[in-house]
Structure 1
Amino acid sequence: MNFIEAIILAIIEGLTEFLPVSSTGHMIIGSSLMGIENDEFVKLFTIVIQLGTILSVVVLYFKRFFQSFDFYFKLLVAFIPAAVFGLLLSDMIDQLLESPLAVAISLVVGGVILLFADKWFNKPTIDSTDEISYPTAFKIGLMQCLAMIPGVSRSGATIVGGMSQKLSRKAAAEFSFFLAVPTMFGATSKKLYDFYKGGYELSGEQINLLLIGNVVGFVVAIIAIKSFIGFVTKYGFRAFGWYRIVVGGIIVILLLAGIDLQVM
């Protein structure tokens, strides 16, 4: 991986991580089209640059993160299901990651759900994340576990999960952003631990790639989050549903064309 490829992947990560479109699916297409070898460092890179994207959430919602301890307890309650199931089902998740077709199917199915989400959940009673109860936070956390299936989209699962619990589109999206912080920090920490435990070491150039990836991901994620909140509040999720279906179709076409796709 060179610096240009690292920047492109970081842009993809920053744009797609907080949108309900599956960053995994986009990483598959982007890395495959650029011919990036899916080695241990590339796998590490695609996870570690999430630090930059979650930092964007903390910066944009700085006051919210230092408002009350109740906020952190709710995030912890929502985070617990993913932490538990992630450890218990790690082997199964790794097997699913070997199937680009599974990603494509998840993209299409999730896209169909988003086409109708606005109609199914059109009577919200919770307009602010402050109004979320602990049971509601836990239920949204359970929905996040669906994102362990590649292509489902963590943000998509949590946003739809929030809307199913009577959250408004904006409140569901914002809680999804907040929940990303402990979830992605945990995933990054585990990936770094596994990397060094496996006997790998980072070279100076690889460290620089990680640094630039995080910086680019941070800047792009800020733009994506601001744009997404305004768009989804006004127009809903239908456009994202069609977009997911198109991306899933592109993956299928690439597979049929004999292009070797590897999930990051």
Structure 2
Amino acid sequence: MDIVLWVKAAIMGIVEGLTEFLPISSTGHLILTGSLLDFTGDTVKVFEIAIQTGAMLSVIWEYRERLKRTFAGVTHDPVAQRFARNVVIAFIPAAALGLAFGSIIKANLFHPVPVAIAFIVGGFVILFVEWRHRRLYGDRDMQGSRVARVETVDDMSALDALKVGLLQCLALIPGTSRSGATIIGSLVLGFSRKAATEFSFFLGIPTLMGAGAYSVYKYRDQLTWGDLPMFLVGTVFAFISALICIRWLIRYVSTHDFTIFAWYRIAFGIVVLATAWTGTVNWAG
């Protein structure tokens, strides 16, 4: 029993759960946290992807009634059929590109400095989108007024789903943030904050659970049964922290924009670049 290893796995799980659904990049935070904890290596790279399943299980739990209705009605209910179709359509682009270029991206970009740069660039993108949104709508979307073209996930068209799916492909670059790409991109497409946030949750279920299963299968020869407790600890803590984050975020987006996350990304990215340049912190990739 390696208690230190389990503690590191728990910390990584908490980081995954708290950052997966915020526009600040869970993958980027896991890479940076792993560097600080000296928790790196090929097995850890599989671990970082696999524990995303815990975060997705929290979505399944939180929206279990909606998902039950969808599965029950997928053969006859037009609303359920449209919802399921849109999730599948949005899932396909990132799945295809991930299979094609995932290994190349991991080899070249899964390091702290590229992640920090992506943090900063993504932060400025969020600031621009929020500035544009305020210019177009003012505070009306924070006051309950209908200003969005897509008010709920049930208002989405197949083309909307495809566009969100293409936006999700940006998250293949670590540090970009899957949630950031889909939520902020959806605002540009005319989604309400709630619709953008919830569809990002739902889209993450096949995307991240599929990525986790594929990663474990692909690198199964590198894993041993001795790694199982570490994976379980990380997954459980990711589930708990993600469930807390989901419930908080849905309340938050009803009255706030995403500007605070933009400034956080910029500040955090600058700190990482500065400490890497000065040698203050050894961000070993």
Pick the TM interval, shorter chain: over 0.9
The 3 A distance-change label for structure 1 pair 12 and 98 is closer
Alignment of 1:145-164 (within 5 A): 145-164=169-188
Q: Deviations over 1:177-218 (max 9, x none)?
A: 00000000111111111111xx223233x2111111111111
Which amino acid in structure 1 is aligned with residue 258 of structure 2? F
C-alpha displacement of 1:171? 0.7
Q: Name the residue aligned to 1:249.
A: 270
Between stretches 253-262 and 143-152, larger displacement belongs to: 253-262
Alignment of 1:173-192 (within 5 A): 173-192=197-216
Number of corresponding residues: 259
Q: Name the residue aligned to 1:62.
A: 64
The CA distance in 1 between the partners of 2:195 and 2:33, in whole Å, is: 31
Q: Please say if 1:74 is aligned against 2:98.
A: no
Between stretches 230-239 and 14-23, larger displacement belongs to: 230-239
State the TM-score, normalizing by the size of structure 1. 0.92
Q: Name the residue aligned to 2:142.
A: none
State the TM-score, normalizing by the size of structure 2. 0.86
C-alpha contact 1:28 1:261 (8 A) present in aligned 2: no
Q: Please say if 1:203 is aligned against 2:225.
A: yes
Which amino acid in structure 1 is aligned with residue 271 of structure 2? I
Q: Name the residue aligned to 1:27.
A: 30
Q: Please say if 1:143 is aligned against 2:155.
A: no
Match of 2:118 among 70, 95, 106: 106
C-alpha contact 1:115 1:239 (8 A) present in aligned 2: no
The CA distance in 2 between the partners of 1:99 and 1:26, in whole Å, is: 11
The 3 A distance-change label for structure 1 pair 175 and 109 is same
C-alpha displacement of 1:98? 4.2
For structure 1, the 5+ residue unaligned runs are none
Q: Deviations over 1:34-80 (max 9, x none)?
A: 222x1222112111111111000011111221223322221100001
Which amino acid in structure 2 is aligned with residue 9 of structure 1? M
Which amino acid in structure 1 is aligned with residue 171 of structure 2? A
Q: Name the residue aligned to 2:77.
A: none
2:283 is paired with a residue of what secondary structure? coil
Match of 1:228 among 246, 249, 273: 249
The 3 A distance-change label for structure 1 pair 103 and 144 is same
Between stretches 207-216 and 95-104, larger displacement belongs to: 95-104
Q: Name the residue aligned to 1:166.
A: 190
C-alpha displacement of 1:91? 4.0
The CA distance in 2 between the partners of 1:153 and 1:203, in whole Å, is: 31
The CA distance in 1 between the partners of 2:29 and 2:103, in whole Å, is: 23
Moved over 6 A (4+): none
Q: Name the residue aligned to 2:155.
A: 131
The 3 A distance-change label for structure 1 pair 95 and 209 is closer
C-alpha contact 2:43 2:223 (8 A) present in aligned 1: no
2:219 is paired with a residue of what secondary structure? helix
Q: Whose radius of gyration is greater, 1 or 2? A: 2
The CA distance in 2 between the partners of 1:182 and 1:167, in whole Å, is: 21
The CA distance in 2 between the partners of 1:14 and 1:166, in whole Å, is: 28
For structure 2, the 5+ residue unaligned runs are 75-80, 138-146
Which amino acid in structure 1 is aligned with residue 53 of structure 2? L
1:14 is paired with a residue of what secondary structure? helix
The 3 A distance-change label for structure 1 pair 91 and 51 is closer
The CA distance in 2 between the partners of 1:184 and 1:59, in whole Å, is: 15
The 3 A distance-change label for structure 1 pair 231 and 50 is same
